[in-house]
Chain A
Amino acid sequence: MGGAHGHLLHFHGHSAVHRAPAHLKVLALLVFMVTVVATPDDWFAAFGAYLLVLVAVIGLSRVPPTYILKRMVVEVPFVLFAVLLPFVARGPRVEVLGLSLSESGLLAAFGLLATATLGVIASLTLAATTEPQALLKGLERLRLPTTLVQIMAFMIRYLSVVTEELRRMHVARVSRGFEARNPRHWPVLAKSFGALFIRSYERGERVHLAMLSRGYTGKMPL
């Protein structure tokens, strides 16, 4: 009953990127993202340059590009939204393959896609090359309020426990003949999530009790 291994994003390695101090990597990611977001949508060459930088870092880290690519599915919702933009935006329109699209919508869609893609690749690279514990230490060194760091630490610790609980609830539902196939089944899913929320809340209370029992007084001693 080891539970799913929590760090699905981490790719074990010993490259220069892996060994770089976590707080520098977090800072680099922050600076990189602010630069990307601040770049006007029509500076196409700049976006190309950013991508080259990322490709170079990934090459240096020896993380297989497919490893990053597979995990980019999180971007899908942004892609859907970006595809909609040229259809719904106003302003002058252009004909593309017989479709009438908004010019400003197309540009905004490109901007959104480029920013999101670069952001996702950069974050995945950080996650792939940094152990979660090192990341937390890095954030602490960057003087992030300790309460926030503590909350993140608990999130990392209990993510696999909660995921495992969710999986067991899913198996229990399926075993009783339930598969969510259409929106009429959604209320059942909603109730499952409600139950999971209450269970997690109660676990939080039990963890707190266990902490008090070992002399916790409100701040982490380590």
Chain B
Amino acid sequence: MSTPVLEVRGLAYAYPDGHQALAGVDLHVHEGESVALLGPNGAGKTTLVLHLNGILTAGAGTVSVSGMPVEKDHLQEIRRRVGIVFQDPDDQLFMGTVRADVGFGPANLGLSGAALDARVMTALDLVGMADFADRPPHHLSFGQRRRVAVATVLAMEPEILVLDEPSSNLDPASRRELADILRSLDVTVLMVTHDLPYALELCPRSVVLSDGHVVADGTTYDVLTDDELMRRHRLELPFGFDPRTVAATLGLGD
């Protein structure tokens, strides 16, 4: 197979207070894949995400993005390649207007003038927010802000889009709209989520992280229907949701 977009080998990390958040994680994501990263609270999901673009530095092991190791020398290029959408859009959107916010990343990469503007409008078009370019972000609805947050990262033309809890706090309509947008994008996706139906809908493959270890890596359908695995790692499907019946209608699974 080709060089993976994302390659994590034996990654371990302990926080300064001694808490071992990651204890030897291995993960490969190939181009064009959509992978869900599942796991109970405190499993180390966010810690792993912060290693992918070098915000945190590995205690042991390596992370590389399209063959380029995540190291101090080329952090800027790594941060272009790995686009992280954080959970709270108010953390991600800090400029006065949507346009300035989406332009922040590409401008840091050295774009300016017409090229910058084109990049910004393309990204806003992808998430259906082009009409809001000159509005201040805090005047938008929560769902709109989440979409603009995705655009801020798309504007950097990343090789992998990493989403931290993309469906959290969204009403069902906004949640569906975001799913439609994510499906329409031509980009590799790693999605951290507790929303298991969302994972089944959008990601053919799932990786389960528990206590700093990868404990399962397979098709989302297989993971969600492995009752023993699910119980052991505090993963629960919402009431009334059965992947088997849903998969039948989606044409997945057995």
Question: Are both chains from one complex?
Answer: yes
Chain A residues packing against B (C-beta within 8 Å): 1-3, 5-6, 132-133, 136, 153-154, 156-158, 160-161, 203, 206-207, 209-217, 221-222
Contact A215:B96 (CB < 8 A) given known A5-B139, A203-B91: no
Chain B interface residue count, CB cutoff 8 Å, equals 36
> Shortest distance in angstroms between B157's beta carbon and chain A's nearest beta carbon?
12
3 tightest Cβ-Cβ pairs between the two chains A and B: A221-B107, A215-B108, A214-B105
Q: Tell me if B30 is interfacial: C-beta within 8 Å of chain A.
A: no
Q: Tell me if B55 is interfacial: C-beta within 8 Å of chain A.
A: yes
Q: Are A1 and B142 closer than 8 Å at their CB atoms?
A: yes
Q: Tell me if B103 is interfacial: C-beta within 8 Å of chain A.
A: yes
Q: Are B94 and A3 closer than 8 Å at their CB atoms?
A: no
Q: Are B55 and A217 closer than 8 Å at their CB atoms?
A: no
Q: Are A161 and B90 closer than 8 Å at their CB atoms?
A: yes
Within 8 A of A (CB), among B155-201: 156, 169
Q: Are A214 and B100 closer than 8 Å at their CB atoms?
A: no
Contact A212:B96 (CB < 8 A) given known A2-B140, A217-B108: no
Partner of A153, one of B95, B153, B156: B95
Instruction: State the CA gap A217–B107 with chains docked (Å).
Output: 11
Q: Are B156 and A211 closer than 8 Å at their CB atoms?
A: no
Q: Are B107 and A6 closer than 8 Å at their CB atoms?
A: no
Mark the stretch among B80-88, B214-222, B228-236 that contacts chain A: B80-88
Q: List 4 additional contacts besides A157-B95, A161-B138, A222-B103; criterion CB under 8 Å.
A: A2-B140, A133-B136, A209-B91, A213-B84
Q: Are A217 and B76 closer than 8 Å at their CB atoms?
A: yes
Partner of A133, one of B90, B96, B140, B152: B96
Residues of B within 8 A of A210 (CB): 84, 86, 91-92, 94
Instruction: State the CA gap A29–B55 with chains docked (Å).
Output: 44
Q: List 24 A-B contacts (CB under 8 A).
A: A1-B169, A2-B139, A6-B138, A133-B97, A157-B94, A158-B94, A206-B91, A207-B92, A209-B50, A209-B86, A210-B84, A210-B86, A212-B55, A212-B79, A213-B53, A213-B79, A213-B82, A213-B84, A214-B104, A215-B79, A215-B156, A221-B108, A222-B95, A222-B100
